[in-house]
């Protein structure tokens, strides 16, 4: 008998935890209310900087109403724009503004909901925390090859870059490197997440990623003495920044519209700020 | 027993259907890659570097990457696989042999992304710290993991070709007082060469076609590798990375050239195996 009671205790603890969770959810119920009674799927792909925010939103919405399924994929800004344009997904995210050509060809509606920095990051073991713009250009073009030359330890510099579908790359290339050369020996990684794990595991690594995606596993580098902090990005002192967009084909309706409305709701804007981005009102 | 006419027709239809699919894929790639054949552009694919920002779209570095990674994997896996196959089907230690065989069979089913994942967290840091140079994402790392991928295929294929040697020949060798190794050298090996070659080519095909391992472990740099510790980009990884580009861009069309090349390599290997089989066909035991 005792055993049975012991067994019952565990679910009780879980129940309590779940209850607390629902209480927390209750506080957000206002913003989620439009999703009540809905069902269907929302497919999202594209920019990988958007993923932390999108993932948390999807979790909240699907927990509130399990009849709604939200699928989330990466691929990069170029993929997001193309897939939404071709009707493969409902929302195509991009970490850059779609070009005039893309907007016209696919009849895109643009929803800009955050400002995000593109931060240069190194491994936390690397003592180098500040680079000038000309040093950065020399590093990425392959002219500086050892951390020793920059005041670090004697270790080769391993470059990590993204492919052309990446909005993060486009912004970094234009605003940090002034469209300068990226060494052909640089390693390519396919997403912001992969960039983070590559740098986190490589003591000689350097790369660039969404400032909102930064965490303790990597160390952000100040450019010309300016750190890619939220404050500096917001004030414009940190220059390497961009807007995050969610794009739809034509004017969104139904669930897709409600999803985008949530981004601009007080709860959505709070979430965007929590994830390390600067929310932008509609 | 001869199958019923209806069943025969059904099977014939199925065979025709699947054969035509692979032909249609070829046709699809040729048609979509057609713009590349104009103005001698196709030749420039093999001479230019990959610099899309400068209008240069050469894929010779990726061809070098593919060949480098898969040959190295083969060189690493071949002796290992041969040794394993000899242990499993000729020396046959009672418990360990069975265990090894089961393990190898199990290994054929491991998804490549799992191997890649393990490689990223274990092998990449190891290689980097051992050699103290580069990022650890290089030709050698990818080839080592690729060798693990293709070894089971080779081992099972080799075991199979060893076991096709007629039992009477082996008994004759035993009767002459051969040790197991003598039996292997003089009876089994000379009569299973075609099987060995077939297994090797099959494994090579698998190494050339694999995407995930090279994508995760080889670094994907666009310069051709010159040393074992240099990063490399394979044709398959190149397709995976470039497929995200704008559909109308020339960059995207290059994918079809890569696809055609891979198709040609696979075709060449298949023909090689066929040729070997034909050589074997005249023989009766």
B233 touches A at CB < 8 Å:
yes
Mean pLDDT calculated for residue range B37-65: 84
In this predicted structure, what is the pLDDT of residue B280? 57
Asked if the model's pLDDT at residue A7 lies above 50, the reply is: no
Asked if the model's pLDDT at residue A228 lies above 80, the reply is: yes
Mean pLDDT calculated for residue range B215-235: 92
**CATH classification number, A24-115+243-279, choose in 3.40.190.10, 1.10.1780.10, 3.90.1150.10, 1.20.120.80:** 3.40.190.10
The residue among A220, A122, A139 whose CA lies nearest residue A185 is A139
Mean pLDDT calculated for residue range A255-274: 94
pLDDT digits (tens, 9 = 90+) for B61-105: 999 999 999 999 999 999 999 999 999 988 888 899 899 999 999
Residue A161: which pLDDT band, with cuts at 50, 70 and 90? very high
In this predicted structure, what is the pLDDT of residue A10? 42
In this predicted structure, what is the pLDDT of residue B3? 59
In this predicted structure, what is the pLDDT of residue B279? 63
Asked if the model's pLDDT at residue A24 lies above 80, the reply is: no
ipTM: 0.76
pLDDT digits (tens, 9 = 90+) for B151-167: 999 999 999 999 898 98
Asked if the model's pLDDT at residue B52 lies above 90, the reply is: no
Percent with pLDDT over 70 in chain A: 90
Angle (deg, nearest 10), helices A51-64 and A254-264: 120
Instruction: Examine domains A24-115+243-279 and A117-241 and report if their fold is the same.
Output: yes
For residue A102, the distance in angstroms to the closest alpha carbon of chain B comes to 10
For residue B47, the distance in angstroms to the closest alpha carbon of chain A comes to 16
Mean pLDDT, all residues of chain B = 88
Asked if the model's pLDDT at residue A18 lies above 60, the reply is: no
Percent with pLDDT over 90 in chain A: 75
Residue B251: which pLDDT band, with cuts at 50, 70 and 90? confident
B222, closest residue in chain A (CA to CA): A184
A169 touches B at CB < 8 Å:
no
* Six token digits for residue B201: 């080519």
Residue-range domains of chain B with CATH: 43-279 (1.10.3720.10)
Residue scoring higher pLDDT (A27 or A177): A177
B226 touches A at CB < 8 Å:
no
Mean pLDDT calculated for residue range B98-115: 92
Residue scoring higher pLDDT (B238 or B243): B238
For residue A154, the distance in angstroms to the closest alpha carbon of chain B comes to 10
Which helix H or strand E contains A68, and what residues bound it? strand A68-75
Separation of alpha carbons B55 and B46, rounded Å: 14
pLDDT digits (tens, 9 = 90+) for B165-197: 898 998 999 899 988 888 888 899 888 988 898
Separation of alpha carbons B243 and B245, rounded Å: 5
A117-241 sits in which CATH class? alpha beta
Q: Which residues of A78-109 are buried (b: 16+ CB within 10 A; e: fewer)?
A: bbbbbbbbeeebbbbbbbbbbeeebbeebebb
Choose the closest CB to B220 out of A164, A165, A188: A188
> Are the C-beta atoms of A150 and A126 separated by less than 8 Å?
no
Residue A14: which pLDDT band, with cuts at 50, 70 and 90? very low
* Domain boundaries along the sequence of chain A: 24-115+243-279, 117-241
Hey, are the CB atoms on B52 and A164 less than 8 Å from each other?
A: yes
Hey, are the CB atoms on B136 and A190 less than 8 Å from each other?
A: no
DSSP state of B249: S
């Amino acid at each position: 008998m005792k055993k049975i009671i012991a067994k019952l205790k565990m679910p009780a603890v879980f129940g309590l935890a779940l209850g607390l969770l629902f209480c927390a959810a209750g506080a957000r119920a206002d913003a989620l209310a439009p999703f009540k009674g809905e069902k269907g799927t929302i497919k999202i792909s594209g920019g990988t900087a958007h993923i932390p925010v999108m993932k948390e939103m999807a979790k909240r919405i699907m927990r509130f109403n399990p009849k709604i399924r939200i699928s989330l994929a990466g691929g990069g800004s170029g993929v997001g724009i193309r897939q939404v344009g071709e009707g493969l997904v409902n929302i195509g995210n991009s970490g850059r503004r779609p070009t005039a050509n893309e907007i016209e060809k696919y009849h895109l509606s643009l929803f800009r909901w955050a400002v995000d920095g593109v931060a240069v990051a190194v491994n936390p073991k690397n003592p180098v925390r500040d680079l000038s713009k000309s040093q950065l250009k020399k590093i990425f073009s392959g002219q500086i090859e050892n951390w020793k030359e920059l005041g670090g330890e004697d270790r080769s510099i391993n470059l990590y870059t993204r492919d052309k579908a990446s909005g993060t790359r486009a912004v970094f290339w234009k605003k940090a490197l002034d469209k300068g050369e990226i060494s052909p020996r640089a390693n390519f990684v396919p997403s912001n997440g992969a960039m983070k794990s590559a740098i986190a595991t490589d003591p000689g690594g350097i790369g660039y990623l969404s400032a909102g995606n930064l965490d303790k596993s990597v160390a952000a580098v100040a450019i010309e003495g300016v750190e890619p902090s939220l404050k500096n990005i917001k004030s414009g002192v940190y220059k390497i920044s961009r807007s995050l967009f969610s794009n739809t084909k034509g004017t969104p309706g139904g669930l897709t519209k409600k999803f985008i409305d949530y981004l601009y709701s007080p709860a959505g804007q709070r979430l965007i700020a929590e994830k390390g981005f600067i929310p932008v009102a509609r | 027993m001869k199958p019923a006419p209806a069943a025969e027709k059904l099977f014939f239809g199925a065979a025709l259907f699947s054969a035509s699919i692979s032909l249609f894929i070829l046709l699809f790639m040729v048609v979509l890659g057609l713009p590349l054949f104009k103005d001698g552009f196709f030749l420039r694919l093999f001479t230019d570097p990959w610099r899309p920002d400068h209008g240069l779209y050469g894929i010779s570095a990726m061809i070098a990457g593919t060949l480098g990674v898969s040959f190295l994997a083969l060189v690493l896996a071949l002796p290992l696989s041969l040794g394993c196959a000899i242990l499993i089907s000729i020396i046959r230690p009672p418990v360990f042999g069975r265990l090894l065989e089961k393990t190898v069979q199990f290994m054929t089913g491991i998804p490549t992304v799992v191997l890649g994942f393990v490689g990223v967290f274990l092998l990449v840091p190891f290689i980097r710290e051992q050699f103290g140079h580069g990022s650890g994402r290089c030709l050698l790392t990818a080839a080592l993991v690729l060798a693990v991928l293709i070894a089971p295929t080779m081992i099972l294929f080799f075991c199979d070709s060893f076991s096709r040697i007629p039992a009477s020949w082996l008994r004759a060798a035993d009767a002459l007082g051969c040790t197991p190794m003598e039996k292997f050298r003089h009876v089994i090996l000379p009569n299973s060469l075609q099987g060995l070659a077939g297994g090797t080519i099959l494994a090579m095909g698998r190494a050339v076609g694999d995407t995930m391992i090279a994508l995760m472990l080889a670094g994907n740099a666009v310069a051709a590798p010159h040393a074992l510790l240099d990063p490399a980009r394979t044709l398959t990884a190149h397709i995976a990375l470039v497929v995200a580009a704008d559909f109308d861009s020339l960059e995207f069309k290059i994918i079809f050239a890569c696809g055609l090349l891979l198709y040609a390599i696979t075709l060449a290997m298949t023909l090689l195996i066929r040729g070997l089989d034909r050589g074997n066909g005249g023989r009766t035991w």
